[in-house]
Every structure is written in structure tokens, then in C-alpha cells.
Amino acid sequence: MTANGSSVREVALVTGAASGIGRAVAGALVRRGASVALVDRAQDALRAVADELTEDGGRVLAIAADVTQEDLVAGAVDRTVDELGPLCTTVTCAGIAILGSVLDLSLQQWRATLDVNLTATFLAARYAVPKMVQAGGGTFTAIASDAGVQGAPGYAAYCASKHGVVGLVRTMALDHGPQGVRSNAVCPGFVETPMADQIFAEGTPEDRAFYESTVPLGRFAAPEEVASAVLHLSSAEASYANGLLYNLDGGSTAGYFEPPR
């Protein structure tokens, strides 16, 4: 069953599939019955995920590729269609976080952040959307961030890149909705992933506890919770969702919140 409700088996492509949110999304799609192309530049981790999902009965295709390289993204999309079938679900999860203000960041760090977080999303859309149109429609879901809907001190490049993802997805909804492709973004706050671990690696347990306390629900999200949002947006149950920002942040962006004392 595809995301559009037809009886043809769903074919999905997930970037950043070797860890964190991407790994959880890939697993959730496999459990839904989809054939999934896993795209990531971390070859060993990618193979481990592919082996795990295959052992669980999934039909997966592991594609080692740098999602910032146009020819590799184009090749990954073509290979997905050639080996798995018509593409109807695309999820972009690849991302990095390099902290710093505009005074702290080097131009190289700025470009690296925008390349992975924003340009890679554009490239996936550039090559996946025509395939989904050819297949009769589909869904494009980008993992943005709460940093895509509000600023955050010390996250200049990250916020700029994620705001860009939000603007890109909204425009795609207008451009490609008439062609049968729904485009949406999930905007999580902190998620229990290797990226979050890296961000807090140089701090203290108290630093992490403070950020958890600023979330009305009192904790960070699990990757599986983000995957659940992606499953909904890419399903027939969300058939009228297009250009939606799914703020999955425990209430952090709902308004001013004073942590309990």
C-alpha cells in the first residue's frame, strides 16, 4: 500500500538513514511495508542499518552517497527507481549542527552547515519530485527544526539553514501540490540522537538538564516520535496536509514558558 492509498507497494527514499532520526524513519517505513532506499555517507553504519532491517524482513537498498553532491543524489534517486520501483515517499533527514554566532563561525563552517541542511534538501527535491510526479504523486517530508521557526542564540548557521528548509518546503507545496506531490516539514526540538550527544559533549549534565527543563513536557523527543510524525504526513491519512510545519517540540515554541523551580 502506497502513501497515496493505492495497492502498489510503497517505495521510499530516506537520507541521513544511518543514524538518529533517519534510522528511525527508515525502520518505521519498513514496518509499514515500504521498500526503502537508505542514503548516507557513513558506509559502515549504513550497512549495519540495512542488515538489521533486512533481518527483520524489510526490502531495503543501501546507497552510500554524500547528499551535498548533485551527481550522487541524482544517481541515488535513479537507482532507487530502477531497483525498487516508482518512488512515492521522500524523507530528508541528513543534518549537522555547528554552533557559533556570526562572529564565531568561519565561512567554511557556514557553507558546510547550509550544504548539508539546506542544499542537500534542495537536491533531493530536485531529483525526487519529478519521479514522484511520474509515479502519479507522492510526499516529500523534510526534517527541519524548531530552529527553523524561531531563533536560537549561538546557532546562526543552523537556524539560517533550517529557516531555509521551511521556506523551501512551503514553496514546494505551492509549486508541486498541483502535480500531486505534498510537501511538509517536521520541526523537532532536541531529539535523543548522536547529534544532540555531540552538542552536549563538552558541557555538563546540568547543561543538558537545563535544556530539558525548558521543554514543557520536561524531556527531549525520541527518534521514534519524530518517525511517527513522518509516517502520518506521508500517509493517506494526511492527504490534505501540504505546506504544513509539524512543530514536534514538546510545546517549546508554543509561547513563553518558565521552567518549574
**Whole-prediction pTM:** 0.95
| Domain assignment of residue 40, yes or no | yes
In a domain, 254, yes or no: no
What amino acid occupies position 234? S
Q: Report if residue 30 sits inside a domain.
A: yes
Provide the number of structural domains found in the chain: 1
Q: In sequence order, what are the residues at sequence separation of 6 or more whose Cβ sits closer than 8 angstroms to the Cβ of residue 84?
A: 11, 35, 36, 37, 59, 61
Catalytic residue, candidates 127, 155, 158, 246: 158
**Euclidean distance between CA atoms 64 and 71, whole angstroms:** 13
What is the rounded average pLDDT of the residues 89-105?
Answer: 97
pLDDT above 70 covers what percent of the chain?
97
Q: Is residue 212 part of a domain?
A: no
Q: Is 246 a catalytic residue?
A: no
**Residue 83: domain span:** 11-190+223-239
Q: Which of 4-18, 95-109, 208-222 has the lowest mean pLDDT?
A: 4-18
Residue 20: pLDDT over 70 = yes
Please determine, for residue 1, whether its predicted confidence score (pLDDT) is greater than 60: no
**107-116, 121-130, 194-203, range with the lowest pLDDT:** 194-203
Highest mean pLDDT among 3-17, 191-205, 247-261: 247-261
Across residues 121-132, what is the average pLDDT? Answer: 98
Task: Tell me the average pLDDT of the chain.
Answer: 95
